[in-house]
Amino acid sequence: MADQVITLSDVAAAAGVSLSTASKALNGTDRISEATREHVRTTADRLGFRHNALARSFARGRSQTIGVLTHRASNPFTRVVLATAATELGAKEQAILLYDARIGDRDVTESILQLRARRIDGVIVIGTGTSFPSPSLTSRFDVPVIYAFTFTEDPDDVTITADDQEIGRLAIRHLLSKGRRRIAHITAEPHDNAAQRRAAGAEEVLAEAGLQWASPVRFGRWREDWGEEAVAELLAEAPDVDAIFCGSDAIGRGAERAVRASGRDVPGDVALIGVDNWEQLMHDQRVSRHLTTIDVGLEEIGRQVAAHLLDPDPQPGVRYVTPQVVTAKTT
């Protein structure tokens, strides 16, 4: 497949103009007569010329590459954001260079130097969306830095993340709209940022409706078996509960099993709503849903990250992606 790769000087020669003229003609820069420009263009096309992107980037000092810093690239949420952003960026000829904190033995400073040496055009920091703020690295780069699915200490950083509070609100509003009034909440670790905010949003709507939790919020883990365990306790304590807002779909799955095991019908006796849209994350195709859930908008985060990165000057600050209720069979 060694078809001779043709260079800009080939084009220039064939068109009978100088190398610089050819460059300017194809780039649309500088003053070139429309005739010449067109002539160069057609000869370039005829010869099947394509820029040597590498040399080109080099001459321009831009690598057409975005650095990505993750805490744990194998985290499934991280993966979604990563894959979506990579897809969008790829469509714009931007490559990504991923440094995963878990794999690399280099520390962050080393990664930063490495990325700078590579003359990357921008940086994405992808967090796990749950607990700790990411340290702000913005000032250590001279290119745009965008934080995805996390937050930082610096309010001026460009951040795109999930709206956990709104997730909580949506969940409760949805359950209320289905006529449920005796609602409980099972979620993860009490110190988890996402868990806290989802609970807070939920309580807000509950209070607005003049209601209270049917039973105190149960904090535990992001795990299926916790859902099962917590529901067992819950039903013992508040047997008349008619809806459970589960902090994640995994918890929701466990919860559903426990509810059914108690002889109750879902959603007849107890409605269930989760968070994550696990099924779509796993299947992508338009499958028929089982568990009603809230999509936190990970793909949208990935898309917006890519868009902001290509934007010459993105507005600083936190941008929350709006979550969506995905109705299925459990409510």
Partner DNA sequence: AAAGGAAGCGAAAGCGGTTTCGCAAATCAC
Partner DNA sequence: GTGATTTGCGAAACCGCTTTCGCTTCCTTT
Instruction: Find the shortest distance in angstroms from Cβ 153 to its own copies.
Output: 17
Whose tokens are 């099972």? That residue is 186
Q: Does 66 bind DNA (CB under 7 A)?
A: no
What sign has the CA pseudo-torsion 188, 157, 100, 84?
A: positive
Residue type, 204: E
Instruction: Find the shortest distance in angstroms from Cβ 94 to DNA.
Output: 17
Burial class (CB within 10 angstroms; exposed 0-12, middle 13-18, buried 19+) of 176 = middle
Structure tokens at 214: 């049917």
Q: How far apart are CA 268 and CA 242, in angstroms?
A: 9
Identify the residue among 32, 115, 206, 271 touching DNA (CB under 7 A): 32
Q: How far apart are CA 258 and CA 263, in angstroms?
A: 9
Instruction: Find the shortest distance in angstroms from Cβ 230 to its own copies.
Output: 14
Instruction: Find the shortest distance in angstroms from Cβ 68 to its own copies.
Output: 8
Q: Which lies closer to DNA via its Cβ, residue 62 or residue 290?
A: 62
Q: In 3D, which of 125, 164, 169, 166 has the Cα closest to residue 148?
A: 125
Binding at 80: pick from its own copies, DNA, none (beta carbon under 5-8 Å per type): its own copies
Instruction: Find the shortest distance in angstroms from Cβ 64 to DNA.
Output: 12
Binding at 163: pick from DNA, its own copies, none (beta carbon under 5-8 Å per type): none
- List of residues 6+ apart from 85 with CB closer than 8 A: 68, 96, 124, 148, 302, 303, 305, 306
Q: Does 55 bind DNA (CB under 7 A)?
A: yes
Q: Does 177 bind DNA (CB under 7 A)?
A: no
The residue ranges that bind DNA (CB under 7 A) are 5, 7-9, 16-21, 23-24, 26-27, 29-37, 51-52, 55-56, 58-61
